[in-house]
Amino acid sequence: MPIRSVILLFWLSISSCAIQVPPSGGDRDQEPPKLVSSVPENQATSFKSNELNLFFDEFIQLNNISSQLVISPPLEGFPEVKVRKKHLYLSWKDSLEGNTTYTFNFGNAIRDFNEGNILGDFQFVFSTGEFIDTAFISGELTDAFYGTPVEGALVMLYKDNEDSLPLKRKPLYFGRTEKDGRFKVRNIAPGSYKIFGLKDSNYDYLYNSPAEGLAFLPDKIPSGSEKINLRMFTERPRNELMKAYSSFPGKFSLVFSFSADTVSINWLGNSEKLRFHTIEYSENKDTISVWYLNTDSDTAAFTLPFLSSVDTTYVRLFSKKTEQLARGKRSMEFNAEAVLQNGIFQDYFLPLNISFKHPVEKVFPEKLLIKQDSMDFSVKKINLVEPVKSMLAVEGDWTQGANYNVNMLPGFARDIFGNENDTISFSMQIRRETDYGSASVDLSGLTSGKVYHIEFVNQRGEVVRKMTVESDKVLLAENLLPSQYTLRLIFDENKNGQWDTGSYFQGEQPEKVIYFPETVTVRANWDIELKWNLSDQSK
């Protein structure tokens, strides 16, 4: 082999051994940057400069520093902020107060450059005096209705006492709640403070939306206070008309931002020609449905006096004359889901509820055929349930454990438009008394003269039993289906029959809700006795 070929093969073998293979990808970096040094040191005293130099263990970037950085006590102007690789530099022109502890709260502004891992709630503290303020305020923050801890909420302190504080000014000091809802605002100067809790959805340290959760105490609290209890609520926004639409000839609906059962409506123009029949409210009262008899009408007009604008609202109605709907009489619609709430089972102690989509004008009992295990069954009475009359309550002496076949022949029910039902059939079984359990609750420690509501809440969050009490007594909840229940007591301060949220500007705390400390397990054919002493909680 020629010498040149040998040399070429030698160099090729050397080169192949030196080929660099890129390393395989490892686990994604999930660690936030760490502060490794600073000038001055964190917690330094006798600080006289007007700049900070912070050095981290990796390249960093800033996100929304102008809104995230909160300095307490505040400086007159926002500092100049620069980032160079691992170095964060801040400088300011204002003179610092003497003998004062300053806290630079960076919020969630500092992140690593590559992965964006956040150094959450990073704080840097120094004092212009000879010591660091070590006063604090601590406690817990819970949801006002559910009593559950609120994680990640701001707890904000102010020296002043104006009503607009949380809306217009960032806090003097702040902390954040832990997973268990507990908080501790540290390094504050001795004194008294106005305190707020805020679920800050846009991270600007201001309360600027009713959708943001808020908690407050009416009076200032002194530094050193512990076991502060803040209850967070969402304020009820101003009620607004969200939507107005027509479903079909004879019905239109108005949808509001929240409960509208007290809304006043001024009907205008030829609205009297609509010939109103019934006003219907949705379950949570935020939708008003208007049933009317003149299905040839094409417009409804009205104003809402409670709105700031008194402009007339027009609803374009589906008319019976509308081409796509003019196909002759439509059969009366039947809502099978509303007949039996528990599948094929019917409670032995309740009437059978039959629900239609339209208000019913008249029923013909002879066209309702019910058989009990193949034997004819006679009903006692058929009632139209007020106020809408779209539900029929069929009363009968149901036999526990028996099976029934229900047949509604054509023309059994006639709606307000003259439509009649087609044939409707279904089967049901009557539950036995032994299929249920009961719970007695011995309530004590209630404040005389106040109104309370006790509720049994099932695992789907539905209130299956509600009872009202005004003094110590034993309440008996019978005929409960076997399940695990949450038991809660609502303090009805304004005696309106429901729980009411708070209002900061009206100085109203949310109505108090107390939960029984244990889950209540109800078993079939079993009675459970509970004792609930509220002496320390009913004030």
pLDDT in tens, the chain (539 residues): 444 443 334 333 434 444 344 444 556 678 999 999 999 999 999 999 999 999 999 999 999 898 888 888 888 889 999 999 999 999 999 889 999 999 998 988 999 998 889 998 899 999 999 999 999 999 999 999 999 999 989 999 999 989 899 999 989 898 889 899 999 999 999 999 999 999 998 888 899 888 899 999 999 999 999 999 999 999 887 788 889 998 888 999 999 887 887 788 888 877 778 999 998 998 888 899 999 999 888 889 988 887 656 678 889 888 776 644 444 444 455 543 435 555 689 999 999 988 888 899 999 999 999 999 889 999 999 999 988 898 899 999 999 999 999 999 999 999 998 888 888 888 999 999 999 999 999 999 999 889 999 999 999 999 999 999 999 999 999 999 999 999 999 999 999 898 999 999 899 999 999 999 999 999 999 999 999 999 877 55
- The number of domains in the chain is 5
Is the same domain home to 228 and 245? Answer: no
Is the same domain home to 473 and 393? Answer: no
Is the four-CA dihedral 105, 107, 112, 114 of positive or negative sign? negative
Does the residue 28 lie in any domain? Answer: no
- In the prediction, which pLDDT does 108 show? 87
CA dist., res. 79 & res. 52, Å (int): 10
Which of 93, 127, 161 is the last residue in one of the domains?
A: 127
- In the prediction, which pLDDT does 337 show? 40
Which of 402, 433, 464 is the last residue in one of the domains?
A: 433
In the DSSP assignment, the letter for residue 311 is: P
Is the same domain home to 185 and 263? Answer: no
Does the residue 19 lie in any domain? Answer: no
Is the same domain home to 48 and 109? Answer: yes
DSSP alpha helices (H): ranges in 146-255?
165-168
Is the same domain home to 296 and 342? Answer: no
CA dist., res. 22 & res. 279, Å (int): 73
Is the same domain home to 428 and 441? Answer: no
Is the same domain home to 458 and 415? Answer: no
- In the prediction, which pLDDT does 8 show? 38
- In the prediction, which pLDDT does 55 show? 97
CA 249 to chain centre: 35
In the block, tokens 């609520």 appear at 233
Is the same domain home to 440 and 471? Answer: yes
Does the residue 15 lie in any domain? Answer: no
- In the prediction, which pLDDT does 184 show? 93
Question: Residue 309: which domain range?
Answer: 241-324
What does pTM read for this prediction? 0.79
CA dist., res. 200 & res. 166, Å (int): 11
Does the residue 331 lie in any domain? Answer: no
The string over 38-67, giving b where at least 16 C-beta atoms fall within 10 Å of a residue's C-beta and e elsewhere, is bebeeebeebeeeebebebebebebeebee
The CATH number of the domain holding residue 226 is 2.60.40.10
Does the residue 410 lie in any domain? Answer: yes
CA dist., res. 160 & res. 193, Å (int): 7
Residues β-bridged to residue 175? 155
Residue 187, amino acid? N
Does the residue 514 lie in any domain? Answer: yes
Residues β-bridged to residue 196? 156, 216
Residues β-bridged to residue 54? 38, 88
Long-range CB contacts (within 8 A, 24+) of 369-375? 369/406, 369/407, 369/408, 369/409, 370/396, 370/404, 370/405, 370/406, 370/407, 371/404, 371/405, 372/399, 372/402, 372/403, 372/404, 373/402, 373/403, 373/404
Residue 76 falls in which region: left (phi positive, over 0), alpha (psi -120 to 50) or beta: alpha
- In the prediction, which pLDDT does 15 show? 40
The CATH number of the domain holding residue 310 is 2.60.40
What three-state secondary structure class fits 314?
Answer: strand
Does the residue 21 lie in any domain? Answer: no
In the DSSP assignment, the letter for residue 128 is: S
Pairing state of beta strands 299-303 and 313-316?
antiparallel
Q: Which two tokens stand for residue 345?
A: 């089972």
DSSP 345-406: EE-TTSPEEEEBSS-EEEE-GGGEEEEETTEEE--SEEEEPTTT--EEEEE--PPTT-EEEE
Which of 95, 127, 159 is the last residue in one of the domains?
A: 127
Is the same domain home to 53 and 106? Answer: yes
CA dist., res. 230 & res. 155, Å (int): 9
Q: Which residues contact 300 (CB under 8 A, 6 or more apart)?
A: 252, 267, 271, 274, 290, 314, 315, 317
What three-state secondary structure class fits 60?
Answer: strand
Is the same domain home to 160 and 204? Answer: yes
Is the same domain home to 452 and 426? Answer: no
Is the same domain home to 429 and 342? Answer: yes
Q: Which two tokens stand for residue 172?
A: 């003097």
Q: Which of 262, 176, 161, 172 is nearest to 219 (CA)?
A: 161
Q: What are phi and psi of 271, to 5 degrees?
A: -60, -30
- In the prediction, which pLDDT does 19 show? 39
Q: Which of 80, 85, 81 is nearest to 112 (CA)?
A: 85
- In the prediction, which pLDDT does 16 show? 40
- The H-or-E segment that residue 427 falls in is strand 424-430
